[in-house]
Amino acid sequence: MRVVGQNAVRQGDERGRVWAGRALLLGLAATATIASACAPGTLGSGSEAGPAPGQQPHLHAPEARALHSYATRLQSAYTARVAASVRWRLRRVPLTAPPPPARKPRITTRDGFEVDGHRNLNLPPVFTTVPTRHKVVFLTIDDGAEKDPEFLRMMRELRVPYTAFLSDYLIKEDYGYFRRMRANGVTLNNHTLHHPALRGLPYDRQKREICGMQEVMRERYGTRPTVFRPPFGSYDKTTLLVAKSCGIKYVPLWSEEVFVDHWDYREWDRDLHPGDIVLSHFRGREHWKGTMPDMIRRFLDKVTAKGYAVARLEDYL
């Protein structure tokens, strides 16, 4: 495997390097104006000269220092990401996602995924892709069986966003692991209490699974999620009616699934697309031929090679 080396800046996140470099140069240029911005003018009585007609005013010292500080932080963050990419043996430095959209995209149910009365009942949308023109994908990880501390460290050091969908019967042995995950900025969402295939189950049973998990999340993590993924992608009208009654607003499924040793695809072209939701699972050597970091390495190597960045799903909802 060819991994990132000292030439990683050239072969890795080119956009991040260019943005950081431009910001740093702008910050340095702004700093250079401080003296002239603060120098006494020639209008008499020691007053400062204003800008000439048609010219922009110089940045004052606080503005220049703030801009320079921002550029320095940007460059430092990129340098740290290069180092983390080396440490975790990635082929390239992961690309940097664009800022979250100021105006959120309109999320609708994918064609063929509707239930009877979906729109009239204002049921939560079921979707596999988020509308966006940017080359971003969203990583979602389900269940909670594996609790690998190296995975938490890897994702924290690489600053790669992801969303977790948790089932209580798998996380209750160590709620603290997912509390640490949440402290790292990860959103924890609902994946039912016991992970049943919900389609066809009675209303009361589905309500216990979905609304019951809402209460677990509130008690353990302080909030009731607004995002829910049905186990196995199995749902019906009852599922969505129950989910809505429990405060769920979105039901994301997935377009691709990544494992330690391969990818699976929903679409005929077996490729990534802007806004695709990628599924994986909290699994270790007991279930896979590898570890969570091995899966993340496969995921990041592919999406980066394809020119995609990883964005935070909740920023688009």
pLDDT bucket at 36, cuts 50 / 70 / 90: very low
Distance between alpha carbon 66 and the CA centroid of its chain, in Å?
27
Q: Which of 153, 246, 237, 152 is nearest to 207 (CA)?
A: 246
Higher pLDDT: 80 or 229? It is 229
What pLDDT score was predicted for residue 53? 55
Contacts of 81 (CB under 8 A, 6+ apart): 13, 16, 93, 94, 158, 159
Instruction: Kindly report the pTM of this predicted structure.
Output: 0.81
Contacts of 300 (CB under 8 A, 6+ apart): 90, 94, 158, 160, 310
Contacts of 18 (CB under 8 A, 6+ apart): none
Measured between alpha carbons, how far is 177 from 152 in angstroms, rounded to an integer?
Answer: 9
C-alpha R_g of the chain? 24
What pLDDT score was predicted for residue 54? 54
104 conformational bin, left if phi > 0, alpha if psi -120 to 50, beta if neither: beta
What pLDDT score was predicted for residue 9? 40
CATH class label, 126-316: alpha beta
Judge contact between 15 and 96, C-beta under 8 A. yes
pLDDT tens for residues 193-230?
A: 999 999 999 999 999 999 999 999 999 999 999 999 99
Domain ranges of the chain: 8-87, 126-316
Average of pLDDT values for 29-51? 41
Lowest mean pLDDT among 55-69, 71-85, 123-137, 197-211: 55-69
pLDDT bucket at 72, cuts 50 / 70 / 90: confident
